Amino acid sequence: MLITATSSLLSLTIAVILINVCSVISKKSSLDREKMSPFECGFDPKSSSRMPFSIQFFLIAVLFIIFDIEIVIILPMVIMMKTSAMTSWAMTVSMFIIILVSGLLHEWKNGMLEWTF
């Protein structure tokens, strides 16, 4: 019991010391105005750094990730073809591909894949 209390007290002491040291260090860096100012080739930035991005670009990126995951799922299915029944394997693969293609056709029909400027 004494060992547990001692190690808990030591852990708490080290944590408090580290918190105090970090707060002292962070105060010194936040007081330096030049380090906290924006830097763009020595000049002040002309525009906001929070520029909005295109939602079409986001949708294309999500589609890319979905089809990457599809490849990761389909590759082990080829290996499992040797050990599983052919009809169940064919049904699983065809349902998987039908779901993905129908999702792609749905996005294409709704115009999500059109790149407009």
Write down the pLDDT at residue 24. Answer: 80
Same domain, 64 and 27: no
Residue 41 domain-assigned (yes or no): no
CA dist., res. 45 & res. 90, Å (int): 58
What's the pLDDT tens digit per position in 13-30?
999 999 888 888 776 555
Tell me whether residue 64 is in a domain: yes
Domain extent at residue 85 = 55-109
Span 19-59, pLDDT tens digits? 888 888 776 555 566 665 666 565 555 666 566 777 777 77
**Residue 39 pLDDT:** 60
- CA separation for the pair 14, 8 (Å, rounded): 10
Q: How many CA atoms lie within 13 A of 66 on its CB side?
A: 14
> What does pTM read for this prediction?
0.44
What's the domain count of the chain? Answer: 2
Determine contact, residues 38/49, Cβ cutoff 8 Å: yes
CA distance 85 to 92: 11
Report yes or no on 48 lying in a domain. no
